[in-house]
Chain A
């Protein structure tokens, strides 16, 4: 139990540090949020109107330290203020428009990539030295080493623009009414294909490689030899004996991947104009929408911390040695 408490203390400290960084970083960006709002409005704002805009946004000259404590107390209450670029919508509402899409895309990618990556890894290890083993992990890692936005642009160009198989932007066909009907769900799936494909390509390599390597180690264990000597079926040995044990380290990977869902998809969502949190983040930074940037960063921070904490708890269950270490 004391292990969990120690970890919890560490996470709280990390959370405070993240909150503070989150306050400082946007303010270090040069540029004026009002100026970017003006850009969206043509050029008809005179001095009186600009003052009105500042008043509406609550951009008042308070000492930074006071702004910081106001920010902290609001953040702890879950109140991130009002978005500048989508004024007067609260930040939580703006984040709400993107959260679902990011989670949908991220979870689908996680599931497909995890399962597919492990299957390939298992077979690569099982048939060590086969063509699959020689090519698949290396190739997938090679592809994963490309910058995600490059793969995304390539997918847009080839599969979207040249072959015209898939739409290249948005989460569903504009003009469709969201609802639980075939037309809408089909459109969502259709629009998700390209971004999903790219996220899977980028993330599948490590799963495959990791699984293959651990599995090879496990296959050398005595109990595998024992199982073979007992004359168990090969499939049973491969899946129940070897793969099951080899998958343990992937649990840690899961926590890291959950963080990636929120942060790593940023550029991919941007390329596909997929209306998730990443897309929002790029726009928020571009328009110096500090409250929205802060809200999004905190979301990402919380997701990563919570995921890691859960992994910690899970790990003490799976391997009691860590809690004594």
Chain B
């Protein structure tokens, strides 16, 4: 047997000794190594089509750019391809003035007709993705898009709908002179993209890594301050964490358990992380079409029973904070009431009070410690959990124990992502969790929380993140219409205060904690990163939001 193992091992050892040299590849100067969010495929297939659902990073908000950037951290709207905007005709017209000197990466000038073309293409072609689809799609609110001159774009609305601003500014603009000849924009893979963004030149493409270098004609003169970005395929979170700990990865968007001790402390000089809580609130969902979750008393009692502090400790090693009754994260701080605790305190941890509320509401405790619904049914519910969502799975026992204390029994049902997401969309679950509503405007946020317009019957799909709990309030709908029907910020602010009051009174869904935005960086080769002391943008490398452009155009190679 010795002989056999020797036989097997000998060539391997030989290989190992000759190959150790090739293991660590030194990164090229000025080329940032990035592991973008939601891009974990083992092999890459070339696709830089910004109208696809899943093009390669940084197609949207990197190769292509939006007219303006909604900065979640500072709360500002940053002029980008458009230098200014104004509402006209009482909010029925939205007029953008474009920057001077913007060029496509092939040297052609970018004009207002490119913007018009982009929105036309989106409106006319079935199957294209884009933020602007909401505005110009089949049930859109924009009547026409016109370019009176090379630098001006006018959007004419059907009716006043001020939150539409966020849909329009986020749409990435493509060059008319290229895309007018594309036969099928849905299936076009756009191998050599021409965009206005800071990084446009695909200089290397292999199945396990590709590189996008800077745009030679970038309109912000002098920027970007580094040569390019390389995206190696990692094929798993573990590989990402190893690469980051080794120092071979510069910019990442990953949740690593025990971040500080396991990774940062190994090299605190270069490795850093900052997880700002500007995104969404993680939600605990009770299907309000199911008795007793149609009763606000039960919903609030459930919330009071949850030990959020302990869960944050378990799921995120304390790297977040508890939600308040408005369910708004600090990304909406410009709209939030001064002190949410004045609106309600049902996010406290107080099982005794929860039990008292349920007793008073007449939910009798059964002999086995499980409460009964008014119909005499025991309160036993399926708790839909998602395979692979390790941080949630970790808190599942806490939630089950917390609710057991108030006489509600949860039976955990594990589901694959496609199953769980399908159940949420169709309202086919009792109790579940959700990573939160990611919306630019608080209007969209609350519309998704409690508008009748986002409710679908059980078994019919809603949009994603739209009212999975199927709660509606007439009062809220009225207020939401009021908000959308004006461009007067003071009026909108007043309406938003009222909406937060409804959220606090009705608890349509239970906010848990502020979802952190996972972001890690290595300062050995690049400077100018966003962090807690220099919080200029939401810094996650992910193409679904435009904030990343601010980081790409600020960071410098050392």
Q: Which residues from chain A contact B42 at a C-beta distance below 8 Å?
A: 170, 273, 275, 279, 283
Q: How many residues of B contact A (CB 8 A)?
A: 74
B47 touches A197 (CB 8 A): no
Question: For the complex, what is the distance from the CA of A49 to the CA of B22, rounded to whole Å?
Answer: 45
- Chain A nearest CB: distance from B107 CB in Å? 28
Q: Which residues from chain B contact A200 at a C-beta distance below 8 Å?
A: 8
Residue among A37, A46, A275 with the most chain B CB within 10 A?
A: A46
A287 touches B418 (CB 8 A): yes
- Chain B nearest CB: distance from A124 CB in Å? 11
Q: Which residues from chain B contact A193 at a C-beta distance below 8 Å?
A: 12, 15-16
Which of B1, B129, B233, B436 is the one whose CB lies under 8 Å from A52?
B129
A31 touches B134 (CB 8 A): no
Interface of B is mostly: loop
Which of B1, B7, B127, B545 is the one whose CB lies under 8 Å from A116?
B7
A197 touches B126 (CB 8 A): no
Does B466 belong to the interface (CB within 8 Å)? yes
Q: Which residues from chain A contact B22 at a C-beta distance below 8 Å?
A: 173, 176, 183, 186-187, 190
- Chain B nearest CB: distance from A79 CB in Å? 14
A174 touches B419 (CB 8 A): no
Which of B1, B18, B186, B232 is the one whose CB lies under 8 Å from A139?
B1
Which of B236, B418, B461 is the one whose CB lies under 8 Å from A50?
B461
Question: For the complex, what is the distance from the CA of A94 to the CA of B47, rounded to whole Å?
Answer: 13
Q: Please name the residue on chain A nearest to B25 by beta carbon.
A: A175
Does B38 belong to the interface (CB within 8 Å)? yes
A88 touches B49 (CB 8 A): yes
Does B421 belong to the interface (CB within 8 Å)? yes
Question: For the complex, what is the distance from the CA of A178 to the CA of B437, rounded to whole Å?
Answer: 42
Question: For the complex, what is the distance from the CA of A319 to the CA of B399, rounded to whole Å?
Answer: 68
Interface residues of A in 1-41 (CB under 8 A from B): 30-33, 35-41
Question: For the complex, what is the distance from the CA of A47 to the CA of B138, rounded to whole Å?
Answer: 11
A187 touches B53 (CB 8 A): no
- Size band of the A side of the interface? 35 or more
B38 touches A197 (CB 8 A): no
Question: Footprint of B on A, CB under 8 Å?
Answer: 30-33, 35-53, 55-56, 82, 85-89, 93-94, 97-98, 116, 120, 132, 135-136, 139, 165-167, 169-178, 183, 186-187, 189-190, 193, 197, 200, 273, 275, 279, 283, 286-288
Give the top 10 A-B pairs by smallest Cβ distance, nearest first. A31-B418, A35-B421, A174-B232, A47-B463, A56-B127, A32-B422, A190-B19, A88-B187, A55-B127, A273-B235
Additional A-B contact list (16), CB under 8 Å, known A39-B418, A55-B127: A31-B419, A32-B425, A35-B425, A42-B37, A42-B38, A43-B464, A46-B463, A51-B138, A56-B129, A86-B45, A116-B8, A120-B4, A172-B208, A174-B232, A197-B8, A279-B42
Question: Footprint of A on B, CB under 8 Å?
Answer: 1, 4, 7-8, 12-13, 15-16, 18-19, 22-23, 25, 37-38, 41-43, 45, 47, 49, 52-54, 126-129, 131, 133-134, 137-140, 186-189, 204, 206-209, 230, 232-236, 239, 280, 416-422, 425, 435-439, 461-466, 542, 544-545
